[in-house]
Amino acid sequence: MTNLRKPGFVLGLIIIALAIVASLAPQLLATHDPFESVATDRLLPPSAQYLFGTDNLGRDLYSRVIYGAALSLLSASLAVVVGVVVGAVVGLISGFVGGRTDFIIMRFVDVLIAVPGVLLALIVVASLGFGPVSLALGVGLGAAGSFARVMRSQVLRIRSEEYVEAARTLGVRSPAILVQHVLPNAARPVIAMAALEMGTAILSVSALTFLGFGAPPPAPEWGALVAAGRDYVATNPGLSIIPGAVILVVVLAVNRVARSIGGDE
């Protein structure tokens, strides 16, 4: 636990903890109802009453950011889960079976990686309909390719380990070898990579909600908040900059913590 002595790591951990609280129990942190508009308090600058100011409909921006965490972070988490699960299964099969199966699967993976992630997500969202779940599926599939490659390389390494051959000569069947020996030993780098992927996923999800592919308004997704503030950039730049800064800080925190977890273990 030497990590806990590094200030950057601790700060990152605190930010992530706040973000998690915000997504699970936003009422603990929010000061206002995120959907209530007060007609007299439109486009106010940050103040003690409205920490981040108010938007064009007189809604408290701070509370909207807090309530937006649930949608943005849960989409991103789901995306990582989709990416890891799909990628790991594909990579596991590809590496373990080998031969022609491996060749065919990996060519598909090459194609998947060749298509830019956001474009791929757009295609998925466009064909499945807008919303946080299809968004997560799209972003997750975009990441699955690289997970499949990492998993496959791990499987190839472990498949040639002596304990795998030993298991075979002990009479263990192939599926059992895969589950009991290959998977546990291959998991660590994939998990480390998943933690790093979380930051990228938050960015991708925010980018897509910025473009309007997320939940329909008035849902306060982070990307959508940045987009809504665009019209007032000249007079109230805070409306775009503050949610943008929140995204930035959370992504930095996630990456900092993920790097320590992946690197130190």
Q: Could you list the residues that contact another protein (CB under 8 A)?
A: 161-163, 165-173, 176, 180-181, 184-185
Using alpha carbons, select from 111, 90, 206 the residue that is nearest to residue 155: 90
Q: How far apart are CA 20 and CA 72, in angstroms?
A: 11
Residue whose tokens read 């498949």: 159
Q: How far is the CB of 9 from another protein (least distance, A)?
A: 19
Of 129 and 175, the one with the shorter C-beta distance to another protein is 175
Of 74 and 187, the one with the shorter C-beta distance to another protein is 187
Of 37 and 185, the one with the shorter C-beta distance to another protein is 185
Of 110 and 161, the one with the shorter C-beta distance to another protein is 161
Using alpha carbons, select from 137, 106, 107 the residue that is nearest to residue 201: 137
DSSP assignment letter at 131: S
Of 29 and 97, the one with the shorter C-beta distance to another protein is 97
Give, in order, the Cα–Cα distances in Å from 154 to each of 94, 96, 100, 192, 259.
Answer: 11, 10, 19, 13, 20
Q: How far is the CB of 253 from another protein (least distance, A)?
A: 28
Q: How far is the CB of 98 from another protein (least distance, A)?
A: 17
Q: How far is the CB of 167 from another protein (least distance, A)?
A: 7
Which pair of tokens denotes residue 221? 């997704």
Q: How far apart are CA 244 and CA 234, in angstroms?
A: 16
Q: Which helix (H) or strand (E) holds 88?
A: helix 61-97
Q: How far apart are CA 194 and CA 25, in angstroms?
A: 25
Of 13 and 172, the one with the shorter C-beta distance to another protein is 172
Of 108 and 163, the one with the shorter C-beta distance to another protein is 163
Q: How far apart are CA 146 and CA 199, in angstroms?
A: 15
Q: How far apart are CA 100 and CA 134, in angstroms?
A: 32
Q: How far is the CB of 170 from another protein (least distance, A)?
A: 4
Residues 41, 44, 48, 52, CA torsion sign: positive
Of 107 and 168, the one with the shorter C-beta distance to another protein is 168
Using alpha carbons, select from 188, 65, 50, 73 the residue that is nearest to residue 135: 73
Q: How far is the CB of 176 from another protein (least distance, A)?
A: 7
